[in-house]
Amino acid sequence: MKQIVILITVFVIVVIAGTWELSYIKDSSNMFLSDISDIKQIIERDDYEDAQKQAKQLKETWLDIRKSWSVLMDDSHMDNIEEKLISFVHYVHSEEESKAKHSAESLANAIKQSINFQELKPENIF
Amino acid sequence: MLVVFVRALILFLVLFVVIRLMGKSELSQIQPFEFIIIVVIADLATGPMSDRNMTMLHGIIPILALLFMYMILNFLLKTNKKIQTMVSGNPVLLIANGKIIEEEMRKQSYVIEDIMSQIRSKGIFKIQDVAYAILETDGELSVIDKKEITGSIPLNVINDGERLEGNLEILKMTDDDLNKILKSKNIEEQNILVATLDENNKFLYQKKGGGN
């Protein structure tokens, strides 16, 4: 009986922790994706001064997110996101609209892929 | 986290089924080659369990391939004496009449302390009290206490129609001696399921198909 209780407790803890982990990653990434989308709109308005300020802010937000994601996610995914973020910030600073928009897309895709990789789906299991 | 958890559960089930199919209930029963297979299988399972970049099938398929090879090898071991000897070796006499057979001990990479610890685990504290100690093919040391021996110890000399040369050597007998015994009993070696012989030439056998 004691063993069954321990077994169920461990199972419940793993399921709750796993669900929390996924929702935390999704929430923080949605916030990040929305910031990227905002910067894209600012670039479209040609307000590079504000875009650069927001891009700097985005980099700082990423550094905060990275701290918590490093416990939950594989390093290679975060390195990929960071690489794309650096090139996005670079194009925003150099005021290259098309390249900045393109790198914003690829940054958003890298984040979505990383989140997708964490979801409990048959293709992730097998 | 949940993906890793589910992958670990699935791989555990695969390992459980594979080990059951290997049919081993006790670790002490395993042969050295089986031990290697089990270690490799365990190593193959840990890869996809912890590395999300590895697909699970890349772990499961080699495990199943090893199981397949193990089953073929096991079948060959049961049906072919030469392969059995090549893979598992023969039992080796390490102590006879209270004396260590030094040459065999060195061949098996044993040291005195290995033998001492194994005989102590059987409740014997002096080598002189050991009548025979036989190193079995699974690494287990069978120890026979002198007190338990009233006569000489019988050993299998024929198993399933195949002559066990190693045991004949232990009994200090030659092929000719066994041939003479077989001739006197008027029986062909290949018709014997199991036959034992001791140093006093006491020959007991069971024919294939249940006859004595």
Q: How far apart (Å, rounded) are the C-alpha atoms in residues B141 and B119?
A: 8
Side-chain half-sphere CA neighbours of B110 within 13 A: 25
Q: What is the ipTM score, two decimals?
A: 0.71
Strand order in the sheet with B130-135: B99-100, B92-96, B130-135, B141-145
Closest to B157 (Cα-Cα) out of B191, B115, B205:
B205
Q: What per-residue confidence (pLDDT) applies to B122? A: 87
Query: Over the stretch A89-99, which tens digit does the pLDDT of each residue have?
Result: 999 988 888 89
Contact B90, B82 (CB under 8 A): no
The tens-digit pLDDT sequence of chain B (212 residues) is 788 888 899 999 998 898 888 876 556 667 778 888 888 998 998 888 878 778 888 888 899 999 998 888 888 888 887 888 787 777 888 898 889 999 888 988 888 898 999 899 988 998 899 988 888 887 888 898 887 776 667 788 888 888 888 788 878 888 888 888 888 888 888 889 899 988 777 888 998 876 55
Name the B residues in 71-110 with CB < 8 Å from any A CB: none
**What is the model's pLDDT at position B27?**
60
Tell if the CB–CB gap between A118 and B3 is shorter than 8 Å.
yes
What's residue B210's pLDDT?
A: 63
| Closest C-alpha among B59, B67, B26, B20 to residue B43 | B59
pLDDT-flagged residues of chain A (< 70): none
In this complex, do B55 and A126 lie within 8 Å of one another by their Cβ atoms? Answer: yes
Q: How many angstroms separate the CA of residue A71 from the nearest CA in chain B?
A: 11
d(CA A83, CA A106): 10
Q: Which residues of B touch A72 (CB under 8 A)?
A: 1
Of B1, B7, B56, the CB nearest to A17: B1
The candidate with the shortest Cα–Cα distance to B29, out of B142, B139, B110, is B139
Cβ–Cβ under 8 Å, residues B144 and B133? yes
Name the phi and psi angles at B62, rounded to 5.
-60, -30
Query: In this complex, do B1 and A18 lie within 8 Å of one another by their Cβ atoms?
Result: yes
